[in-house]
Homo-oligomer: A and B are copies of this chain.
Amino acid sequence: MSKLLLGKPVADAMTEDLSLRVDALKAAGVTPVLAIVRVGERPDDLSYERGVTKRAQSVGVDVRPFVLDEDAGQEQLEAVIRQVNEDSSIHGCLMFRPLPAHLDEDAACALLAPEKDVDAISPAALAGVFADRQGAFAPSTAVACMKVLDHYGIDPAGKKVAVIGRSLVIGKPVAMLLLARNATVTICHSRTRDLAETVREAEIVICATGRARAYGADFFREGQTVVDVGINVDAEGKLCGDVDFESVENLVDAITPVPRGVGSVTSAVTVGHTVQAAERALV
């Protein structure tokens, strides 16, 4: 039986630390505020909004939603982002993506003030992640993977790590975070030949392709740590990861389940970045 790397203990430890830091901020007269910019009513967005709101409230961070109709125009959206940028009582901002196709997502992302960009959607934040610049926020899911490894004492330094997936939201940034921690990182993807063999060679595997139960026993071996970032819905409507958990759970050393794995940590990271932004604004 593999060790289950549950997200809750990770998020709980973070929450405890964040509560203390929010208390200190409030004592200094500052309540951290996270703005959420949402266009339309996508179920995924609403679900994550509920999660992050609950997490924020549990540590004393206020959430301020800015909700636009699904057919809102670019000007409306940009006006909201400007309002967020200019309001000094707002410390962090999470904008749900993908935006509806009629909107210019790149332009909207580039508009967000880097110091409030707690999910690293702006070019400045992405450049910071790429350059390993101190202080840049990285995408919350990528940071959540690192928090899970750290919490369970799995040091990536010197280890072979395979990242499956090369998205800008998770695959590439988590590769950069792992590289900054001295892992030897191989970035794999749909065009990788001998994918199973390459993944089997790694000591830590990050699965981030959003393909339900795509990676089974032939991709893994004893001794590995597997971090499954996928959150997929299978044919029967059940949540599942990118890894075929049932065929792997007795094979590898440690694995994050889905649900109850990385996803439980992501909202704590977003809230944590907001607290950090508020602390920086205070200095």
**Chain A residues close to B by CB (< 8 Å):** 106, 123-124, 126-131, 133, 157-160, 166, 168, 172, 175-176, 179, 182, 184-189, 191-193, 198
Q: Choose among A133, A182, A185 the residue with the greatest number of B CB atoms under 10 Å from its CB.
A: A185
Would you list the 4 A-B pairs with minimal beta carbon distance, nearest first?
A123-B127, A182-B191, A130-B130, A186-B186
| Distance, CA A189 to CA B179, complexed state (A) | 9
Q: Which residues on the B side are within 8 Å of A158 (C-beta)?
A: 191-193
Q: Which residues on the B side are within 8 Å of A187 (C-beta)?
A: 175, 179, 184-187
Q: Which residues on the B side are within 8 Å of A186 (C-beta)?
A: 184-187
Let me know if B166 and A179 touch, CB within 8 A.
yes
Let me know if B124 and A191 touch, CB within 8 A.
no
Let me know if A188 and B193 touch, CB within 8 A.
no
A to B CB contacts below 8 Å, 18 in the list: A123-B123, A123-B127, A123-B128, A126-B126, A126-B131, A127-B127, A127-B130, A130-B168, A130-B172, A157-B191, A158-B192, A175-B187, A179-B187, A182-B191, A184-B193, A185-B186, A186-B186, A186-B187
Given contacts A130-B172, A157-B191, 18 further A-B contacts (CB under 8 A): A106-B133, A123-B127, A123-B128, A123-B131, A124-B127, A126-B126, A126-B127, A127-B127, A129-B130, A159-B193, A172-B176, A172-B179, A175-B187, A179-B187, A184-B191, A184-B193, A184-B198, A186-B186
Indicate which residue in B124, B157, B172, B185 contacts A123 across the interface (CB closer than 8 Å): B124
Closest-CB distance, A192 to chain B (whole angstroms): 4
| Distance, CA A157 to CA B189, complexed state (A) | 11
Closest-CB distance, A182 to chain B (whole angstroms): 4
